[in-house]
Every structure is written in structure tokens, then in C-alpha cells.
Chains A and B, each alone.
Chain A
């Protein structure tokens, strides 16, 4: 069964969606979408390093993205530049450096489009293991830091005052962000990972009244997007990443209709 590339892609996509659902909610709540972009752009550098050193892609992306995240935190402390400028600086410079390095690696054949937008043909059985084991670890850690992370998202001072150590939760969450990018890069492609994180979560926000429900709907939205996207990718021979994101956009638009109805009901 796993011989079929499409089944492999489907299993991989489902694994990714289950993890991006809850993480995406935090990305929205904590306003981290540009942070996600920066990390995923830096992933290109990780990929090129993986190729040039014949190293596992997910692992090397994880390392590079974590390093970029740490660099960002240091720069925030040491410079007076605003956060968005620092994010832009890191995002574009790491993307540029990654592309330059690709130029030097002319002896390796690169599927740039696949890297940027995802390629379902590229998902191997090894990747499935990385996605499902990595994904399970991410969810486990997220569950462990859920309380301090959520409390400090609502109000930092309350969390700090009542002894929840929000700074540690924030640092761990940053690492989880790097990890989700690492495991989903083959499916969604590095330019669209943030979309996979925020669009299902944004859809869920429109239709949910509590944080738990938002997480649940976000997972469901992600799953539907992956399934719809992958089938249409197969059907119309389009890249997997854009197809998945387009499907999630479709779900988001549906959720807007729901809002309109509920506003009408209120009036």
C-alpha cells in the first residue's frame, strides 16, 4: 500500500495537518505569522546544507530554523530595530543565502519548485516516519507546555505572577515551530508552510467560541484541506502545496458565510 506515492502523500499530509492545527492556533493568537514566514524561508538554507552534506533534510531544516529563531531573539535584545524589520531581515537574507548556496551546488540537481511549493512525489516511507514520530513528539511537548503557553498568550503578567514560567514555554514553542516547518516542508513547500499553519486556524476562529473548539476545528480544517488539496493535485496535476492551501482558502471562505449568518441571527 505504501508503494503508492499518493497513499504516502495522503498519510504524510494527514500527519502534518494534525500538528499544524493546534500550532496554527497559537500562531494566530500570538501573532506569529511573520515569524513563521521567517523560519520557513530560512529552511531553504537548511535544505541546501542537507543536500551538500548528504544529511537528512528535516533534521537540517530543524537545526537551521532553530538557529534563526535564536538569532532573532538575540537581535531583539541587542538592537533597537522593530520586530518586523528584524523578521524581514532574517527571512530575506536567509532565503537569499540559501539561493546563492544552491548556485554553488551546480553539481546537484535541484527541484526548486518542489522545494518552494511542495511535491507529493517526493514523499518517501522515511519521510512518513519523520512526520508521524516528529509530529507525535511536537504534540506531546505542546500538551506539556499548553497551560503556561496559553496563559501567557492571554496575559503574560498573570502567567508570570502565578508561577507558570511563560518565558520557558515561549522558548520551547519557538523550537516546536522550527520542528513543524522541518517535517512539513516536503508536503507543503517552504513558501506555503505558514499558510498551512494560519489558514485552517483562521477558519476555525470564525466558527468557534472556545479555545479548545478552535483547536479542534483547526485540525479538521487542516485535514479537509490536505485531502481535498491532494486529490485535486492528483486530478489536475498541480503542485501539492498550492493545492492544499487553495483548498484551505476555500474552507475559510465557507466559514465567512457562517459568520454572516450568525450576525444576521443576532440582529
Chain B
């Protein structure tokens, strides 16, 4: 029973049809507290759709979804904001939750955009806006974070820092993260569980298991599995509790 209490959201053979076409079908996965689950797959493979099913945005779904938390932070892949609204970054931070000033400042500082707090949302660059989106999602200290390509448009150094931040948040808040990413390097280094989608679940498991899977190789090519093998080499040691490095 103990493991069940850690489940935040669970999809049971979930699928979604739009305009008589299956966007994704038969997806089963679960996100647990403190775990990062990553969805990978080519364009149009149903990653965002799966995230939206998990979030309950799509309601008329096939299969079922069980959600055990209401404290959710979401960074959508695409967001269109209507500029008839006068909206500053600070207003946007308060969108779905009432937060105090310290919490807002802390979140904006973590993602490196505290200096933009009073700027109009419409005046931000793509990367800056992405950082604000992430800050907003983490500021409410969610139990479940759903991040749909959270670092798109962010510069290279920022990208690494933000992924480190995401990992840190997952540890500190003990929140479960459903991450969609194109960056296989990150996926493999920070993820507990990988689900590889191509309209259906083509394979899933730990990063290493997925990398060895033939369907994965067929989907992403040999190079992709080499990324993983390099990752494997990096972990030829374990950290002992005394802080020593012990070779396997």
C-alpha cells in the first residue's frame, strides 16, 4: 500500500481521439512523488496529448486517468496570451494561486528573471517568457509538475542550469515531475523513468532499459543510443555515505 500512496497521477491505457484520429492511445504510466518521468518521441507522437490527458485538460478520453493531487504546476508547450490584457510578470505569477511577495521573488530568482518582475508579459523574449512560465509553475510548490518542453528557446547555459533546477526542485519539494523533452542528454541523466512514445508506448523503463530497446533505436537512430552508453560510463562508480567515490 505504501507505494500506492506515492502515486500522484496514473494513466490506465489512456488514449484521445480528435477529429476521428487517435492522437495517442493505450498509454499507461504513473508519476510518483519525488520521481521524474520523461516522455520522449518524435514530433506528433502524442507527448503533449499525454500530458494533457494526465492533467485532465482532455476529458473525453479512452481508458482512464486517476489523479491524486490538486496541487499541480503546468508549463505548456504552447501558450497564446491575449494582449488585450494588461499583464505584468507579477500578475502572471499570481494567476492560479495567491502567493506572497517572498515566494514570488524566490521563484523568479531561481529561474533568473527577477529583474523582469514589473515588465509587461508581452515585452518578454521567448526565452525570458519560458523562464517566467517555469517560475510560475514552481512557485506554488506543487506536488505534481508537468513540464512540456520547459526550456525551449532558452540559451544553452541557461538550459543546463534550468534542468539542474528542475532536478533540485524534484528532490527538495519531493514532487513528481512529468517532463517532455527533446534533449536526450538531460533525459538520460536526470530521469527515473522514460516513456518512449510514437502514437502509443513503444517502450518504457529506466533510461538504460529504454536505450537498449530496439524500437527506441529504430525511432531515434544509433547515435541516440550512444548518448546513453556514454551516460552509462559516467556512472561506473557509486557515492558512499562518507562522500567517497567507490568504483564498481
Contacts and interface: CB of A to CB of B under 8 A. Distances in A.
Interface of A: 28-29, 31, 147, 150-151, 153-155, 157-164, 205, 208-214
Closest 9 CB pairs of A and B: A161-B55, A161-B74, A162-B96, A163-B70, A151-B95, A160-B57, A151-B96, A162-B72, A157-B57
Interface of B: 52, 55-57, 70, 72-74, 76, 79-82, 84-88, 90-92, 95-98, 120, 140, 146
B74 A158 contact: yes
Nearest to B92: A154
A211 B85 contact: yes
Contacts of B98: 147
A16 B135 CA distance: 39
> Main SS of chain B's interface residues?
loop
A28 B83 CA distance: 11
A155 to B, nearest CB: 6
A160 B56 contact: yes
B91 A211 contact: yes
Nearest to A206: B86
A150 B95 contact: yes
A28 B85 CA distance: 9
A157 B87 contact: no
A185 to B, nearest CB: 27
Contacts of B79: 155, 157-158
A158 B96 contact: yes
A208 B87 CA distance: 10
Contacts of A208: 86
B189 to A, nearest CB: 27
A210 B121 CA distance: 10
B52 A157 contact: yes
Contacts of B72: 161-163
26 contacts: A28-B84, A29-B82, A29-B84, A147-B96, A147-B98, A151-B96, A154-B85, A157-B57, A157-B74, A157-B76, A157-B79, A158-B76, A158-B95, A158-B96, A159-B96, A160-B55, A160-B56, A160-B57, A162-B72, A162-B73, A162-B96, A162-B140, A164-B96, A208-B86, A210-B88, A211-B85
Contacts of B85: 29, 153-154, 211
A85 B97 CA distance: 37
A9 to B, nearest CB: 32
Contacts of B96: 147, 151, 158-159, 162, 164
Contacts of B140: 162
Contact of A214 (B82, B86, B95): B86
B86 A209 contact: yes
Contacts of B87: 154, 210-211
Q: Which residue among B57, B76, B86, B140 has the maximum number of chain A CB atoms within 10 Å of its CB?
A: B86
B74 A205 contact: no
Contacts of A163: 70, 72
A214 B86 CA distance: 8
Contact of B81 (A150, A155, A212): A155
Contacts of B70: 163
A157 B95 CA distance: 12
Q: Which residue among A160, A205, A208, A212 has the maximum number of chain B CB atoms within 10 Å of its CB?
A: A160
B88 A209 contact: yes
Q: Which residue among A158, A160, A209, A212 has the maximum number of chain B CB atoms within 10 Å of its CB?
A: A158
A159 B76 CA distance: 11
